Amino acid sequence: MKIADVRAKSSDQLKDELLTLKKEQFNLRFQRATGQLENTARVRSVRRTIARVKGELASRAAAG
């Protein structure tokens, strides 16, 4: 997800997206631990998207 996509969503949508991404990250960690993870780059991608969403939510909270 690109930053433009993140900025286009409302705060409620971003909170829902963050919850979904956290669940996906949890599942990817289990897949890696059990040796079932095929796309290892997805872990990094999800982690960075979580950071983008959290950053946007923080900047919105600071802006008021």
Q: The domain containing residue 23 runs over which residues?
A: 3-63
Mean pLDDT of all residues in the chain? 96
For residues 12, 15, 21, 27, the Cα torsion angle rounded to the nearest 10 degrees is -110
Residue-wise pLDDT tens digits, 35-45: 999 999 999 99
How many domains is the chain partitioned into structurally? 1
DSSP H helical ranges for the chain:
3-8, 11-34, 41-63
**How much is the pLDDT for 64?**
79
Mean local confidence (pLDDT), 2-19: 96
pLDDT band at 1 (very low <50, low <70, confident <90, very high): confident
Inter-residue contact 53 to 6 (CB < 8 Å): yes
The CATH number of residue 10's host domain is 1.10.287
CA pair distance 47, 43, nearest whole angstrom: 6
Greatest extent of the chain over all pairs of C-alpha atoms, in Å: 44
